[in-house]
Structure 1
Amino acid sequence: MANRIYRNSYISLWTALSHYGLIPEGVYQTYSVSTHKTKSFETPIGEIIYKHIKPALFFGYRIERWENKPVLIAEPGKALLDTLYLNSHWRDKADIDGLRIDWSILANIA
């Protein structure tokens, strides 16, 4: 559904990081990036949040099948890059450590 509300979008950020097991937290919203404006929608299946990125940064995603439907989702490294790009207030190692990224998983799937 997230790819259909905003056509130029792919699932990324916390949703993709959780999907790949890169963060230990469960994510209850669907986070996507889009070339459209930042916006969120409340749907029957939950909240979908879109964050705006520049068209030049709209890459690094692939098609996966969820419930037998094609879904555009960021590749693991791109989900991390999108997260860092959209959270430019993070400044140092402590901020990055706070993400609790499992770097061993990233090394094995990237």
Structure 2
Amino acid sequence: MKWHELLQMVVDEPVFRTGFLAASGESLPALRLQLSRWVKAGKLIQPARGLYTLAEPYRKVCPHPFVLANAMKKGSYVSLQSALAHYAMIPEHVPTVTSVTTQRPQWIETPLGAFAFRRIKKGWFGGCRQVDLGNRQQAFVATPDKALLDLVYLTARSDDPGFLAELRLQNPDRLDLDALARLAEASQSPKLRRAAARIAGWVTEETGAEP
């Protein structure tokens, strides 16, 4: 495969996999060898095995970090502080994209940023939706309610009264208290039930809504 042929195939793709290029008719070993050469030449970036994105100035679409996170580990979704920051529910900038998965936990440093994958049990996996990120890019991201409870689930002593204060939560109207209560009840976790009750109390206090 020639470089101009690759550009024609992937110039509009934020990320692509080796298998995507198999339609060209070249053997996979030959493709992998050529892709490796382009990575070494600085024309491609390889954030994970078998996953690539065009380097500047060749790229037409800059891959969103959430899209990269989804692609780097199948069966994952962006959650915790990364999702809460996306929904403007916490004030801090979150440099590491954190996702949850039922697979092994992993930390990956790439030229495009740092990515953390936290492990949760299969019964707690879910509560995400496909979010439009602009530039025709979409990624699976936890709902605000699930992102907050995922954070509680994975953080020690997060059901303490001071935990919410430390988070400095904002925009309480973005939480669905009914969904929050259902998630906490379905978890069968006393810790998550306590946390959900405190979160509901905070939302009621902040918004003046009926408890």
Please, what TM-score do these two structures have when normalized by structure 1?
A: 0.90
Higher mean alpha-carbon deviation, 6-15 vs 65-74, is at 65-74
Query: Match for residue 141 of structure 2?
Result: 73
Contact 1:10 1:73 (C-alpha < 8 Å) held by counterparts: yes
Contact 1:34 1:51 (C-alpha < 8 Å) held by counterparts: yes
Deviation at 1:107, TM superposition (A): 2.5
**Counterpart AA for 2:70:** N
Higher mean alpha-carbon deviation, 11-20 vs 87-96, is at 87-96
Higher strand content, 1 or 2:
1
Q: Distance in 1 between matches of 2:144 and 2:162?
A: 21
Q: Distance in 2 between matches of 1:20 and 1:91?
A: 22
Deviation at 1:56, TM superposition (A): 0.8
Contact 2:70 2:78 (C-alpha < 8 Å) held by counterparts: yes
Contact 1:77 1:106 (C-alpha < 8 Å) held by counterparts: no
Query: Match for residue 179 of structure 2?
Result: none
Query: Match for residue 173 of structure 2?
Result: 107
Higher mean alpha-carbon deviation, 89-98 vs 56-65, is at 89-98
Q: Distance in 2 between matches of 1:58 and 1:91?
A: 20
Q: Distance in 1 between matches of 2:172 and 2:158?
A: 20
Matched, 1:48 2:115: yes
**Structure 2, unaligned stretches of length 5 or more?**
1-67, 177-211
Query: Match for residue 161 of structure 2?
Result: 93
Matched, 1:30 2:30: no
Contact 2:76 2:100 (C-alpha < 8 Å) held by counterparts: yes
Q: Distance in 2 between matches of 1:91 and 1:83?
A: 10
**Counterpart AA for 1:37:** R
Decide which structure has the larger Cα Rg and report it.
2
**% same residue:** 35
Aligned residues: 108
Matched, 1:10 2:62: no
Higher helix content, 1 or 2:
2
Q: Distance in 2 between matches of 1:41 and 1:82?
A: 20
Provide, for residues 35-68 of structure 1, a one-character-per-residue CA deviation record: whole Å limited to 9, x for no partner: 1111111122100000000111111100012232
Q: Distance in 2 between matches of 1:82 and 1:109?
A: 14
- Cα separation, partners in 2 of 1:25 and 1:63, compared to 1, 3 Å: same
Deviation at 1:109, TM superposition (A): 5.0
Contact 1:31 1:48 (C-alpha < 8 Å) held by counterparts: yes
**Greater RCO between the two (CA within 8 Å, min separation 6)?**
1
